[in-house]
């Protein structure tokens, strides 16, 4: 019940955040020196003259006052209309329907892989602190954090796909197509999460409540799961919540290498051509994903530590 109130409050707080971000993005876009009308003309191989520029500006609605453009955009958005690309003239929503699921699958899958792999790694290195396994994990973490994604992707492609032909190379037809790209994205995360978890576990083991749980004769599974891991995993949850947004924004390289039609490439293109509706949609999606990622992380946190919602509702009462 408390959790329910908490989630509603957090959802309500999303609205101003999203309005704010999109507004600032709107403002910043219009302050950049490149004129989308010029960009449009040069893509279409038309020589920009005063006349043609004004014509295009009018067609794209760019001659309207700034605030009117924003209100118009919001109004369209309320009807789930993301606008039409300046360059391709294809509705943004039409592209998103195809591309968003690809990126979302990639992001969520790599996050899940990262968490599932980090938990045993973190536990192993905490239990064998400063021993062989711990050093191996540390080395792995160091490599995972410092290897650039493109290098990692090519290594995976070479060893897994070309040499042993285990997974398909490019495209998005089957779930197997998502394995290598997800692993590429997950490896850097595994590095961070397993270290976070290791340190969290070592700290938790020192908690008085763990000593007391041991003194009550709890078995290893109950002790480690219910008391130690539950407490130690909290920093990982926070990190994962923040990474969700980063993953959505950061799939471009992996998408290009594995020839996956996600949102990364689409938006990169849009930035070159000052394709306002597409950029605007990107900002909106990113804002939503970032806020949602943090919200999910906070809800999980509130489940892991009920003191958090307790304080939230207490404040409401006062």
Sign of torsion, CA 122 123 124 130? positive
Question: Does residue 215 belong to the site contacting other proteins (CB under 8 A)?
Answer: yes
Coil, strand, or helix at residue 60?
Answer: coil
Total site size for other proteins, rule CB under 8 A? 22
Question: Does residue 211 belong to the site contacting other proteins (CB under 8 A)?
Answer: yes
Could you tell me the smallest distance in angstroms from the CB atom of residue 198 to other proteins? Answer: 18
Could you tell me the smallest distance in angstroms from the CB atom of residue 5 to other proteins? Answer: 17
How many separate helices (H) and strands (E) can be counted in the chain?
16, 0
Question: Does residue 309 belong to the site contacting other proteins (CB under 8 A)?
Answer: no
**In the set 216, 315, 317, 318, which binds other proteins (CB under 8 A)?**
216
Question: Does residue 315 belong to the site contacting other proteins (CB under 8 A)?
Answer: no
Q: What are phi and psi of 44, to 5 degrees?
A: -85, 5
Q: Which of residues 217-276 bind other proteins (CB under 8 A)?
A: 217-219, 222, 226-227, 230-231
Helix 307-317 vs helix 2-31: crossing angle, to nearest 10: 90
> Cα–Cα distance between 228 and 48 in angstroms, integer?
66
End-to-end Cα distance, the chain: 18
Question: Does residue 318 belong to the site contacting other proteins (CB under 8 A)?
Answer: no
Could you tell me the smallest distance in angstroms from the CB atom of residue 130 to other proteins? Answer: 12
Question: Which range binds other proteins by CB under 8 A, 52-60, 175-183, 211-219, 282-290?
Answer: 211-219
Question: Does residue 16 belong to the site contacting other proteins (CB under 8 A)?
Answer: no
Could you tell me the smallest distance in angstroms from the CB atom of residue 128 to other proteins? Answer: 13
Question: Does residue 127 belong to the site contacting other proteins (CB under 8 A)?
Answer: no
Cα angle 204, 206, 309; round to 5: 40
- For residue 91, the 8-state DSSP code is B
Question: Does residue 314 belong to the site contacting other proteins (CB under 8 A)?
Answer: no
Q: Are 54 and 44 in contact (CB under 8 A)?
A: no
- CA nearest neighbour of 186 among 166, 165, 228, 156: 156
Query: Could you give the count of Cα atoms lying within 13 Å of 68 in the half-sphere of its Cβ?
Result: 5
Question: Which range binds other proteins by CB under 8 A, 29-37, 141-149, 214-222, 259-267?
Answer: 214-222
Question: Does residue 132 belong to the site contacting other proteins (CB under 8 A)?
Answer: no
Question: Does residue 214 belong to the site contacting other proteins (CB under 8 A)?
Answer: yes
Question: Which range binds other proteins by CB under 8 A, 153-161, 206-214, 235-243, 250-258?
Answer: 206-214
**In the set 68, 271, 306, 316, which binds other proteins (CB under 8 A)?**
306
Cα separations in angstroms, 194 against 118, 152, 199, 239, 249: 4, 19, 9, 11, 23
Sign of torsion, CA 240 241 242 245? positive
Question: Which range binds other proteins by CB under 8 A, 5-13, 34-42, 191-199, 215-223?
Answer: 215-223
Place of tokens 């650039």: 148
Residues that bind other proteins (CB under 8 A): 207-209, 211-219, 222, 226-227, 230-231, 304-307, 310
């Amino acid at each position: 019940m408390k959790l329910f109130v908490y989630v509603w409050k957090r959802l309500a707080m999303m609205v101003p955040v999203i309005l704010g971000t999109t507004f600032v993005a709107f403002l910043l876009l219009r302050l950049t020196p490149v004129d989308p009308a010029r960009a449009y003309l040069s893509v279409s191989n038309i020589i920009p003259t005063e006349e043609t520029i004004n014509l295009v500006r009018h067609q794209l609605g760019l001659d309207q006052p700034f605030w009117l453009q924003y209100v118009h955009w919001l109004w369209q958005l309320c009807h789930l209309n993301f606008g039409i690309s300046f360059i391709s003239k294809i509705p943004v929503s039409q592209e998103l329907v195809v591309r968003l699921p690809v990126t979302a699958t990639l992001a969520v899958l790599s996050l899940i892989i990262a968490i599932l792999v980090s938990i045993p790694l973190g536990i192993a290195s905490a239990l064998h602190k400063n021993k062989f396994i711990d050093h191996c994990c540390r080395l792995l973490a160091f490599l995972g954090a410092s290897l650039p994604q493109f290098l990692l992707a090519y290594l995976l492609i070479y060893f897994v796909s070309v040499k042993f032909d285990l997974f398909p190379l490019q495209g998005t037809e089957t779930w197997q197509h998502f394995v290598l790209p997800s692993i590429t994205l997950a490896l850097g995360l595994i590095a961070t999460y397993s270290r976070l978890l290791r340190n969290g576990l070592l700290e938790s083991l020192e908690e008085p409540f763990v000593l007391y749980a041991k003194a009550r004769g709890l078995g290893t599974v109950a002790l480690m799961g219910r008391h130690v891991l539950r407490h130690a995993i909290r920093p990982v949850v926070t990190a994962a919540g923040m990474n969700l947004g980063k993953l959505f924004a950061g799939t471009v390289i992996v998408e290009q290498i594995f020839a996956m039609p996600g949102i990364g490439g689409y938006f990169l293109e849009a930035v070159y051509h000052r394709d306002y509706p597409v950029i605007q949609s990107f900002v909106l999606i990113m804002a939503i994903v970032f806020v949602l990622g943090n919200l999910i992380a906070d809800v999980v946190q509130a489940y892991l530590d009920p003191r958090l919602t307790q304080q939230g509702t207490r404040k409401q009462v006062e």
